[in-house]
Amino acid sequence: MKKFKRSIRGYNREEVNAFVSEVIDQVEKMVAQIKEKDMQIQALNTTLSKYKNMEETLNKSILMAQETSEQMKRMARIESENIINDAKKNANKIVNDALSRASKVESESAILKKNIQIFKTRIKNIVEQQLQIIEDIDNIDM
């Protein structure tokens, strides 16, 4: 605390005026510092606000990416199930077609065997008839 010298009519005017000037200078410096600090605070608040907006945007982007990823997984799973079901249907159709063809070939083979047996029997009968005719020729008196 500042002490002033006493003069005839109270305190020394020059000392008091010098002190008041000094106090005013210090108060002006403090006001300037406060204004500078307020401007810095305002700039920092603006920057903070920008970063909060960026954070919010990034969070939304991350959520959208996660949702998109989950949706793509679901779609891929559904598509793979459809492909597997189609493959099973095609496999069953191929197997059924093969079994049908095999059955048809087997049936045709049986018919051919039967026809060959009939043909052999007819040829055998014809040959036996021809042999009979030859034997009959030998029995004819000439």
What does the pLDDT look like over 72-117, one tens digit per residue? 999 999 999 999 999 999 999 999 999 999 999 999 999 999 999 9
Cα Rg of the chain, angstroms = 59
Split at pLDDT 50, 70, 90, the class of 136 is confident
Judged against a pLDDT cut of 70, whether residue 6 lies above it is answered with no
- Average pLDDT (126-137) is 89
Q: Which tokens is 87 given? A: 């493959």
- Average pLDDT (120-136) is 92
Split at pLDDT 50, 70, 90, the class of 41 is very high
pLDDT at residue 137, rounded to an integer: 83
Task: Report CA dihedral (79, 82, 84, 88) to the nearest 10 degrees.
Answer: -170
Chain-centroid distance of CA 38 in Å reads: 50
Question: How far is CA 69 from each of CA 35, 82, 102, 139, rounded to the nearest angstrom?
Answer: 50, 20, 48, 103
pLDDT at residue 20, rounded to an integer: 87
DSSP state of 9: T
Whole-angstrom distance, CA of residue 75 vs CA of residue 78: 5
Mean pLDDT over all residues of the chain? 91
